[in-house]
Amino acid sequence: MTAHNFAQNARFWLMKTEPGECGIDDFLKAPDRTLSWFGVRNYQARNMIRDEMHAGDGVLFYHSSCREPGIVGLAEVASESYPDRTQFDPSNPYFDPKSSKEAPRWFAVDVRVVAPCGLISIQTLRNDPELAHLIILKRGNRLSVTPVAPEDFERIRTQHMHF
């Protein structure tokens, strides 16, 4: 497959998306394999996007709310955070009437897919005792963005993605 060097001080994330809404195939068809990661409407996830994510960070691209959820690719954060434009558009399902351009409530980042991989199912992650503590495996976790420790990211990348 492919090797990829992330920024020297990179952080690592697992980002969930629904493939029927915007999956890895949509990113692969996009110019430079890059799209905006918009529509996050959870304050905890918003804070991570706004305050902690930076260009060059590594991403485990995860499909959720589908027949076989799991990691389907390696990606990177491709921009610094910026106000999510959908919050200002009354015709958009992500419109927020309490948000203003002067004081935006919601933020987005651009994400670039580096390489797709075969499905790494939630069961595969559960079966790896070294990954038992991953937030994605915790009961009731519904966040679309969660941090991943560097050693866990590398284990998934080398042991399960094989690149």
Q: Determine, yes or no, domain membership for 7.
A: no
Quote the tokens at residue 101: 């351009």
Mean pLDDT value across residues 32-37: 97
Q: Determine, yes or no, domain membership for 25.
A: yes
pLDDT of residue 162: 81
| Consecutive H or E run containing 29 | helix 24-29
Q: Determine, yes or no, domain membership for 92.
A: yes
Contact in structure between 139 and 59 (CB atoms under 8 Å): no
pLDDT band at 2 (very low <50, low <70, confident <90, very high): low
**pLDDT tens digit string along 68-127?**
999 999 999 999 999 999 999 999 999 999 999 999 999 999 999 999 999 999 999 999
pLDDT of residue 105: 98
Q: Determine, yes or no, domain membership for 5.
A: no
Closest CA to 72 of 64, 82, 80, 83: 64
Number of domains present in the structure of the chain: 1
**pLDDT tens digit string along 143-156?**
999 999 999 999 99
Q: Determine, yes or no, domain membership for 6.
A: no
Domain ranges, residue 16: 12-160
Q: Determine, yes or no, domain membership for 41.
A: yes
How confident is the prediction for the chain on average, in pLDDT? 95
Contact in structure between 9 and 55 (CB atoms under 8 Å): no
Q: Determine, yes or no, domain membership for 3.
A: no
**79: CATH:** 3.10.590.10
pLDDT of residue 1: 45
Closest CA to 62 of 33, 5, 7, 22: 22
